[in-house]
Amino acid sequence: DAKTTQPNSMESNEEEPVHLPCNHSTISGTDYIHWYRQLPSQGPEYVIHGLTSNVNNRMASLAIAEDRKSSTLILHRATLRDAAVYYCILRDIYSGNTGKLIFGQGTTLQVKP
């Protein structure tokens, strides 16, 4: 599985937008970009995923660079509840793949009131 690189930590103020970057320069054409987050004392939670086009859902937006070598998770208005570790993960779409997630260290997001 291709590797991702994320900053160890980021800070944000409540009610402001947050842009969480992820570099994946060795991404292959069949890798989906997935984002999960893990709130304190909980299991990871799916946030969003995409392949080539930008994606929006009720939780966040995912902006994918044209060359797909980087992506950005956008939280439009951070709340205190968004304080978590955010993981950027690549998953190959082809069958025969187990679908297992390979987690890195992630980005710890602190949200200040």
Partner 1 sequence: DTGVSQNPRHKITKRGQNVTFRCDPISEHNRLYWYRQTLGQGPEFLTYFQNEAQLEKSRLLSDRFSAERPKGSFSTLEIQRTEQGDSAMYLCASSLLQESYEQYFGPGTRLTVT
Nearer to partner 1, 17 or 93 (CB): 93
Task: List Cα–Cα distances, 107 to 11, 58, 60, in angstroms.
Answer: 10, 21, 16
Residues 67-86 that bind partner 1 (CB under 8 A): 85
C-alpha dist (Å) from residue 34 to 46, 102, 113:
8, 11, 28
Check binding of 7 to partner 1 (CB under 8 A): no
Q: What would the two tokens of residue 77 be?
A: 């208005």
CB 95 within 8 A of CB 30: no
- Residues in 34-63 at the binding interface with partner 1, rule: CB under 8 A: 34, 42-46, 49
Q: Stretches 9-17, 19-27, 64-72, 97-105: which one binds partner 1 (CB under 8 A)?
A: 97-105
Count of residues of this chain found to bind partner 1 when the rule CB under 8 A is applied? 25
Q: Is the CB of residue 20 less than 8 Å from the CB of residue 10?
A: yes
- Which of 53/98 has CB closer to partner 1? 98
Cβ 108 vs Cβ 8: under 8 Å: yes
Residue ranges in contact with partner 1 by CB under 8 A: 32, 34, 42-46, 49, 85, 87, 91-95, 97-106
